[in-house]
Amino acid sequence: MILKKFVLRPATSLLRFAHYNLPKSPSGGFLPLKLPGCFGGKQPFNWGFFRVFPEKKQKNPRAQQAACALLSFFLFFFICSVCPVSVFPLSFADPGAPEELAAAIESAMSDEQALAQTFMLGWGGAEPSPLILQWIRERNIGGVKIFGWNTEDTLQLAGTVGALQEVSLAGPFNIPLLVATDQEGGWIRHVKGSTSETPGNMAIGASGYPQDAYLAGYYIAKELAVLGINMNFAPAVDLFTNRASVLIGPRSFGSDPVKVGILGAAFMKGHQAAGVIPTAKHYPGHGDTDLDSHGVLPEIAASFETLWNRELIPYRMLAVEGLPAVMSGHLAFPNTEAASMPASLSPWFLEDVLRDKIGYRGIIITDDLMMNGATGWAGSLSRTAKQALIAGNDIIMFSNTPNLYEPLWTFLLSSMKEEEDFRARVRDAARRTLLVKLRYLKGEGSVPYIPDPRKVAAELPDPEGAAFFVNLAARSVTLVKPLPPDSVFPLKQESAGRVLLAGRYNDFFKAGKAAFPAADSCRYTETDGPAALLSYARNADTVIFCLSDAADLRLLRSLEPLKKQVIVLSVLNPVYLESVPWVNGALAVYSYAPESFAAGFSAMIGRIPAEGRLPYE
């Protein structure tokens, strides 16, 4: 066929689609040309106008060659004009609407590639392990999770993130990784090194200003972006409902669901302004239990009506504001339709409530599936992962790196091939994951795939952020006792007499010595008995005690019989102050960041007012 000789070969050399062949025709007729890249790869394209005649000897071969080359040229422009998807190999970097490109890439993926997009894996150590690199290179997984054990050296971490992204970008479709961490602020700060220590969510709740929430979210995310981290598991919008909770406590903005929703939405907007994907957690709410889902599956007695009007209000508010990601929690609510099933594995919680009733449209990611709160219910990691996907999670997260061919992978893949409904659910999860990547990981303002080490050295900690966090710490200092404060505060050296500083944190002593240079110091550990503290306290007129947890509380109670003036600087969760009504004075700050200690002592001696309010009833 002359057409095959002269039309396709010039097109092959110029346009790189040699693998498309026009079918032969023994006689003149209309020939279909099937282009898998067109119309989402699902419809053949028929060149109905194109008439091909049997080959015969030509009188003027040069004229025929020129005519066929010209026809090839018009054929190329016709293809470009009618095909919404490029006939070239699909790439994440292709232009186009995110929805259309996500659907096209997912449609072109094998089942293995689609399943891999739902995986987010952690690894041990500062350097990327050979196994995590193998998962990225051979499977092209959807994301990686940065934990505290990966992050002591921020410059090294930036190099690691860049190395992982380079491997991922070299894979099929050139898809970048979601690189996620937990950087809530305050107590939870997985990326350490030279990043900012911040006052935390409860400090934002104590200040009460949405602008503080926005700027905290912005500066935390801005630092993560410098390191190439494009997703953060924050804000935590769990309510401060159960005061005995050791897992949530100062990670909460407070107990009022509407205020938590407002502050959570502002924090989310700050992240988005810095180009980082925010993730609200722990859906549907971890605040009403004193148990930790890392070790057990907590059961929360709340009815659905209670949840709808309390824990779910922040999610309802954030969904309206365009929240892109939610983390599902390993929590059981036996008085709801989910019964004993963890919410993270429950289609009722994730599909019926979150997507259908609330109207949420972003992606859902599990909390770590290696936590006992998840695997204990399902019986094995493989079954837990499958149920998580069936329930409506789009990304399944694992804190460790499994072997390539262990049952976790092979069981899920075989389930896709045997169960069409499960296959469709996995492919839908892959499409949703691709869509959030296309919306956030490309274009102006997105987080760079390969961090610049010069920026890491120059911009961490962020200087503007550092100034803001000092002011936030100052605005959040809360006077708890006495009310009014005149009988104790401001505490001056002449009225305090001999001062003893008692605590565990170096920054407490640094700030305390700045306020009271002549003070003595008593450092203790969690396991120390009261003997040493009492020995020091007997020689003091005023004891300034740093209270942060139940172990500190036991030591603090030993001071009551001495009848000394006792001033407490509470850090983290201030509820412990309710157990010591006999102390003379108490101020609350909400983290052990240096700025929080400095602000607390500044309020104690009267340099700044204590304007914060306890953010719970």
Enzyme catalytic residues: 294, 367
Half-sphere exposure of 522 (CA within 13 A, CB side): 25
Report whether 196 contacts 220 (CB < 8 A): yes
φ, ψ at 188 (rounded to 5°): -95, 105
- Give me the phi and psi of 601, to 5 degrees please: -70, -30
**DSSP 3-state of 32:** strand
Nearest to 449 by CA among 136, 213, 209: 136
Q: At what angle do helices 210-226 and 257-273 cross, to 10 degrees?
A: 40
Find out whether 373 and 293 touch, Cβ atoms under 8 Å: yes
CA distances from 462 to 5, 194, 269, 468 (A): 63, 9, 19, 10
Q: Give the helix/strand (H/E) hosting 305.
A: helix 304-309
- The DSSP H or E segment spanning 551 is helix 550-557
Find out whether the peptide bond into 461 is cis, omega within 30 degrees of 0.
yes
Rounded distance between C-alpha atoms, residue 537 and residue 532, angstroms: 9
Q: Where are the alpha helices (DSSP H) in 36-183?
A: 61-82, 98-108, 111-117, 130-134, 154-169
Per-residue HEC secondary structure of 233-299 comes to CCCECCCCCCCCCCCCHHHCCCCCHHHHHHHHHHHHHHHHHCCCEECEEEECCCCCCCCCCCCCCCE
Q: What are phi and psi of 280, to 5 degrees?
A: -80, 140
